[in-house]
Amino acid sequence: MAPPLLQLRNIGLTFGRTPLLEDAELSLAPGERVCLVGRNGSGKSTLLRIAAGLIEPDSGSRFIQPGATVRYLPQEPDFAGAPTVLAYVEAGLGPGDDPHRARLLLDQLGLHGEENPAALSGGEARRAAIARTLAPDPDLLLLDEPTNHLDLAAIEWLEATLLGSRAALVLISHDRRFLTNLSNATAWLDRGRTRRIERGFAAFEAWRDEALAEEERDQHKLDRKIVAEEHWLRYGVTARRKRNERRLANLHALRQSRRDYRASAGKAQLAAVQADASGALVIEAERISKSYDGRPIVADFSTRIRRGDRIGIVGPNGAGKTTLIEMLTGLAAPDAGTVKLGAGLAMARLDQHRDSLDASSTVADTLTGGRGDAVMVGGKPRHVIGYMKDFLFAPEQARTPVGVLSGGERGRLMLAQVLAKPSNLLVLDEPTNDLDLETLDVLEEMLADYTGTVLLVSHDRDFLDRVVNGVIAPDGEGRWVEYAGGYSDMLVQRGGDLSRSAKAVAKDAAKDAPKDKPARPSAPAKRRLNFNEKHALETLPGKIAKLHDTIAVLQAKLNDPALFTRDRKTFDDISHKLSAAHAELAKAEETWLELEILREEIEGA
């Protein structure tokens, strides 16, 4: 067995009173690709910084294979002292490294190298930092959220580059598909300790859920045992003093074990306050256009968005996604064309820029607007501490300045602000940035239950496939095209990735076709169940069973022959409820049957 490139053993680190890391471990052999996963605030980035040698732990040991080249990608790169991007990237090269590789990587990432680092956007800064990290062709890569601020084309380029690299890899990311495609082992950092499986991220969530369920069963057994021992202590025989003292000592040990147990962090309770339903037609855009400095951002685009639609807007950074969504929601006027908004719209919007939060304000003041200790949730006051807990903030964080929060905590804080407002149109611009995987799951569930309309800008391929039923993507020169289905469906229909226009793909296909045969039309995209349809298939059987129970209870009440003469009003109320329940049951059964037939057709195709 080859010696490890990296080995962390019994790592301990404490900030304040609560240990952040307790006997944490991490090892990496040549060729391994380990994804490091855990909740926001669990210490993943800290453990990676310890692996990079940037933080000294309170206890434990760190081993790096002598002569191994290690490169670390931080979440916030430091460009201090670099006059240009090329100089910044070349500063990461070691003796004997190829300087041409730095220029090659910058070119592949869409940078020319002469940019001023101080003037870079978030996406450009991330691409420059990636170029610096990859340029030496290292033996070991430590990557902390490498996909943050990257557009879809850059994410897919990075994924392909890492798959073709010889380097071993430790990866932190919230992008499920990125983790699934790259990892072959998973390290789970939970309550200060690490647990590992020798399988990639695709197997992690089922394994984690089973581990937590087993842990809960063990704690339940411990609680029962403590209760039994306490009962013996109160009512048991007091003879055989030495034996009893030993049993009492065992009870104290059980209690100490219970006190030492650190329960896992709770699950975020995300729920959007829903306003009254909007009109059936939410947005109608007809031939809208917008240009900046002569450059077309949107050209002659038309769409109709109806109540209940979930529309994803994708594309490279700078393509105009935010501009398009602002025009569609009436926040910006088009240069040409018209946008009509439906009746009764109540919009809530999540901005992608976390810096829109006041860094000097506290968490509580951000939610209450600095007015008392109550948050207005759907027009009703709710104590700020209780509302904070729904979004996994501890009570002691109420007076914490926003500026010291992590990226994930700032993301949850902005969601807490937005979801408190009654809405029937949610506009979410990069909502997945910095959120941990568990919170993303809850956000998906909330959107599935949301009866209004959703406009979503995201670079998270898996999140788009799970949530949206339509995608709007750029096609070059300001043109935008609408596709049915999720992100993967869009790629199939488009016939190429987002870095190439549909027109270019069609041109290449025609060029490659045999000259003596006409070009065959592309096959229609394979239909797939979208997230909402899958969710309905899973939940409708339970709903149908509950309706059957409700109908049985109502029918039993109506079977009382004296009810009509004794209480006519109650008889009429029950009759109306029974009629409504039968109608709802018929609709639910019809919907389930249609979806089940559709599922069988898709699986049989």
Question: In the predicted model, is pLDDT for residue 513 greater than 50?
Answer: no
CA distances for 521 relative to 142, 476, 488, 505, 528, angstroms: 45, 22, 20, 13, 21
Higher pLDDT pick, 501 / 310: 310
Q: Are residues 466 and 374 in the same domain?
A: no
Do residues 189 and 107 share a domain? yes
The string of DSSP codes covering 555-588 is HHHHT-TTHHHH-HHHHHHHHHHHHHHHHHHHHH
If you average pLDDT over every residue of the chain, what do you get?
82
Q: Rounded to whole angstroms, how far apart are CA atoms 313 and 5?
A: 42
User: Three-state SS across 485-550?
Assistant: CCHHHHHHHHCCCCCCCHHHHHHHHHHHCCCCCCCCCCCCCCCCCCHHHHHHHHHHHHHHHHHHHH
Average pLDDT over residues 171-183: 92
Nearest to 462 by CA among 486, 481, 435: 486
Total structural domains within the chain: 5
**For the chain, what percent of residues have pLDDT higher than 90?**
32
| pLDDT level of residue 555 (50, 70, 90 thresholds) | confident
pLDDT at 139: 92
Do 191 and 99 share a domain, yes or no? Answer: yes
pLDDT at 560: 79
| 511, 479: one domain | yes
Query: Does residue 98 sit within a domain?
Result: yes
CA distances from 97 to 6, 138, 232, 571 (A): 22, 10, 72, 86
Alpha helices in 383-460 (DSSP H): 384-390, 407-419, 437-449
Which tokens is 60 given? Answer: 């434990």
Phi and psi, residue 137, nearest 5°: 55, 60
Residue 100's nearest CA partner among 79, 86, 118, 80 is: 86
Q: Is residue 352 part of a domain?
A: no
Residue 583 has a pLDDT of 81
Is the same domain home to 255 and 285? no
Q: What is the pLDDT of residues 343-368, one digit of tens each?
A: 988 898 887 665 567 888 898 888 88
Q: Is residue 351 part of a domain?
A: no
For residue 545, pLDDT beyond 90: no
Could you tell me if residue 1 is inside a domain? no
* Residues that constitute the known binding site: 38-45, 315-322
Looking at the structure, tell me whether residues 416 and 500 fall in a common domain: no
Phi, psi at residue 22, to the nearest 5°?
Answer: -135, 110
Residues 188 and 82 in one domain: yes
305 and 197 inside one domain: no
Give the side-chain half-sphere CA count within 13 A for 275. 19
Per-residue pLDDT averaged across 240-269, rounded? Answer: 57
Give the mean pLDDT of 139-145. 94
What is the pLDDT averaged over residues 371-379?
A: 80
pLDDT at 508 over 80: no
- What's the average model confidence in pLDDT over 284-302? 92
Domain containing 550: what range?
Answer: 531-604
pLDDT exceeds 80 at position 226: no
Same domain, 219 and 199: no
Pair (390, 307) in one structural domain: no
| CA–CA dist 457, 326 (Å, integer) | 11
Domain CATH for 463: 3.40.50.300
Which whole number is the average pLDDT over 145-156?
89
My answer on whether 111 and 252 are in the same domain is no
Residue 259 has pLDDT above 70, yes or no: no
Return the higher-pLDDT residue of 502 and 539: 539
**pTM for the structure as a whole:** 0.68
Torsion of CA 472, 523, 462, 173, to 10 degrees: -100
Last residue of a domain, one of 421, 437, 464: 421
Which pLDDT band, with edges at 50, 70 and 90, does 206 fall under? Answer: confident
- Pick the last residue of a domain from 374, 400, 421: 421
Distance CA 32, CA 38 (A): 19
Confidence of residue 261 (pLDDT cuts 50, 70, 90): low
Residue 252 pLDDT level (bands cut at 50, 70, 90): low
Q: Are the beta carbons of 410 and 354 closer than 8 angstroms?
A: yes
Residue numbering of the annotated binding site for ATP:
38-45, 315-322
Residue 237 counted as domain residue = yes
pLDDT computed for residue 242 by the predictor: 45
The answer on 463 and 550 residing in a single domain is: no
**Per-residue pLDDT tens for 382-440?**
898 988 888 878 888 888 888 887 777 787 888 888 888 888 999 988 887 777 777 78
Looking at residue 141, its pLDDT comes to 95
Three-state SS at 244: helix
Q: Which residues have C-beta within 8 Å of that of residue 438, sequence separation ≥ 6?
A: 39, 267, 268
Residue 398 lies in a domain: yes
Give the tens place of pLDDT for each residue, 304-330. Answer: 999 999 999 998 888 889 899 999 999
CA atoms within 13 A on the CB side of 182: 33
Query: How confident is residue 454, by pLDDT bands cut at 50, 70 and 90?
Result: very high
Domain harbouring 575, CATH code:
1.10.287.380
